[in-house]
Amino acid sequence: METKKRILTGIRPTGALHLGHYVGALENWVRLQESYECFFLIADYQALGDHMDDIDGIRSSVLEVTLDWLAVGLDPAKSTFEVQSYVPQHAELHMLLSMVLPLSWLQRNPTLKSEMESLESEHKTLSLGFYNYPASQVADILLPRAHLVPVGDDQLPHIEMTREVARRFNRLFAPVFPEPDALVGRVPRLVGIDGQAKMSKSLGNCIYLKDDEAEVTNKVRRMFTDPTRIHATDPGHVEGNPVFIYHDVFNKDVDEVNELKERYKAGTVGDVEVKRRLAKALNEFLEPIRARRGEYEVRMDDVKDILRDGSSRARVTAEETMNEVRDAMRLRYTE
C-alpha cells in the first residue's frame, strides 16, 4: 500500500476564523485531507510572540479555532489536530534548527519585516520570541517531514526559507528532511469589508465563519463599494469593488452575478440591492458551517478530546523525526 504524502499547515490562535481564512486555506485543507496525511497545527507558542498580554485570549482561541475547523469539515478521524505546546518536539527541533539557520535569513524575510514594522508603529515591544517565529515555523513544517504546505501568498517567503533550511541541514548532517512545496489557496488575499487591506482580525474588517445571519447582513451593509459613485443611477466600477469581489468568490449563481455587474456598470442597480443579494449568498454559504459549529459547541469535552488525541498521535510522529535528527547531529553522548 502506497504511503500518503504529508501536509503540515496551521493557524495562530488569536481569535475565531473568518472568510479570508476559508478561501485562502480551509477549503483547500478539507479537500486535501482526502489524499494526504494531514497535520493541522494550532501554533499557540507563536501566538505568544505578540499576544503575551492576552494569554486568556489565546486559551479561548485554541478552542475557537478547533470549532471552526470542525465546522468547515475538517475530520479528526482523517487528519491530526495538534496543539503546538502539547508536542514538545516542536520546541526541541526549533532550538536545534536555530543553530543551523543563519541570522541573515531571518533579517531578509519580508513577512517578518512587515509584521515588525506594524508592531513597532503600535509602540509594542518586540520580543526575541516574536523575532524568531519564522524559525519556529520552519521547525513546525519539518517536524512531521511535510511534503506540502497550504498557505496564503504572504507566507511564501516562510516556505522558501524552510526549503533552504532543509537543504542546509541535509547537507551538513544527513538527508532527514524533504523540501516542502507551497500551495496557495483559491483566493490568496481576500480584501476586508473596508476595502483598504486584506481581511484581518487586528483591523476589525472581517466577516467571521461564526457570525449569525443578522451580523453578516449588517457587515455587508457597511461594506466599501465604489467611492466615485454618488447616485444609484451613476455608472459604477466593478473591478476592485469589494462587494463584487465577494460576489465572485461566494455567490454560486454566476448568472445573477453577471447580471448585477452589467446593471451596476450601466447605473441601473444601486448598492443597496447588490449588497442585499450578497448578504443572502453569504448567509446561504455560512449556514451549514454555523449549524455544524453549533453541534460541537454543546460537546466541548469532545472537542478537547480531539485536541488531546491528535496531539498524542503527533508526538509519536515527532519523536520518530527527532530520533533521526539526534542521530544525524550525533547528540547521543552516552550510547
Taking all residues of the chain, what is their mean pLDDT, rounded to a whole number? 92
pLDDT of residue 195: 86
- CB 35 within 8 Å of CB 147: no
pLDDT at 123: 67
- What tens digit of pLDDT does each residue of 106-156 get? 888 887 877 777 777 676 777 888 888 889 999 999 999 999 999 877 888
Residues 6 or more apart in contact with residue 148 via CB below 8 angstroms: 5, 6, 7, 32, 36, 180, 181, 182, 183
**Is the pLDDT assigned to residue 68 strictly greater than 90?**
yes
Could you tell me the domains of the chain? 6-191+300-328 (3.40.50.620), 211-293 (1.10.240.10)
pLDDT given for residue 1 in this prediction: 46
pLDDT at 262: 96
Please tell me the predicted confidence (pLDDT) of residue 132.
Answer: 87
Does this model's pTM top 0.85?
A: yes
All cell numbers assigned to 11: 493557524
Of residues 137, 16, 9, the one with CA closest to residue 66: 16
Secondary structure, 3-state, 251-318: CCCHHHHHHHHHHHHHCCCCHHHHHHHHHHHHHHHHHHHHHHHHHHHCCHHHHHHHHHHHHHHHHHHH
Sheet holding 80-83, edge to edge: 80-83, 37-42, 6-11, 148-151, 181-184
- Could you give the 3-state DSSP secondary structure of residue 10? strand
- Residue whose C-alpha is closest to residue 147's, from 11, 38, 245, 47: 38
